[in-house]
Structure formats: C-alpha cells, structure tokens
Amino acid sequence: MEEWLDAGHGSCVLNQPECAKLVVDAWKHFDRERYHLHAWVVMPNHVHLIVQMLGNHALSDAIESWKRYTATRINRLLGRKGAFWQEDYWDRYVRDEIHFKNAVAYVHENPVKAGLIQKAEDWAWSSASGP
C-alpha cells in the first residue's frame, strides 16, 4: 500500500497548496490545547502525523473532527461532494524514545522516499520544513 501511495496513485488533491494548507491549519488549530503535534506531513494523496493526545481528548474524536472539517472545506473549494477521506485510519502506540525518533524520521522522509524532493526540509507541507 505504501508503495502505491508513494507512486502517486489515487486522487492527489492534497498536492494543491490550498488543500494542503487547509489540512495543516486544521491540525494546528488545537495544537497544545487538545493534543501536541510532534511531526506531520501532507503528501499528495495521504497524510502522516505523530500526535500526543492531552487531557481527556480522544484520538478518534480528533481524527473525526479533522476529517469532517477538511473534507467539507476541500470539497467546497473544489466544487465537489461526497467522501474525501477513507473511513478508517491506521494508528499505533510509540513504544519508547528510539521508536519515537524513527517514527519522526519516517514521517519527515516520506516525500524524499516518494521521490518528490531531495531533502525533507524542502517539502512545504511538513513539520520538517519548520513551524
């Protein structure tokens, strides 16, 4: 599946800067209030993020909110209707500091691995490129 995504198959709507910005802005909206965003990247056809939930906020609620908000806004922007995101999502717990560092590197290197750029910090829609 990862090879398929990295090859750019499927809808690549998130390659449009306005759409990628909507996603990033939605993630940043409650950063440090409901969750802490550690690393993120918006790829042309999928996203990755490492988030630590804060307080009583649930990951499933945050993802549902991000998906609903961004789907509505992106569909409106593009003049389309219907489902935008896949129904489910894939998650896992970070076991330790080494796992965390490897996960952050994986997220940041995703556009490099996909052949979109040479250096992670050159991808505009990634926490590797700065705040």
CATH 3.30.70.1290 assigned to 2-129: yes
Q: What DSSP character marks residue 88?
A: -
Predicted pLDDT at 4? 42
Q: Tens of pLDDT along 22-78?
A: 999 999 999 999 999 999 999 999 999 999 999 999 999 999 999 999 999 999 999
Domain boundary assignment for the chain:
2-129
Q: What DSSP character marks residue 17?
A: H
pTM (whole model) above 0.75: yes
E strands, the chain, are: 35-42, 47-53
* Reported confidence tier of residue 3, pLDDT bands at 50, 70, 90: low
* Nearest partner of 65 among 85, 39, 45, judged by Cα: 85
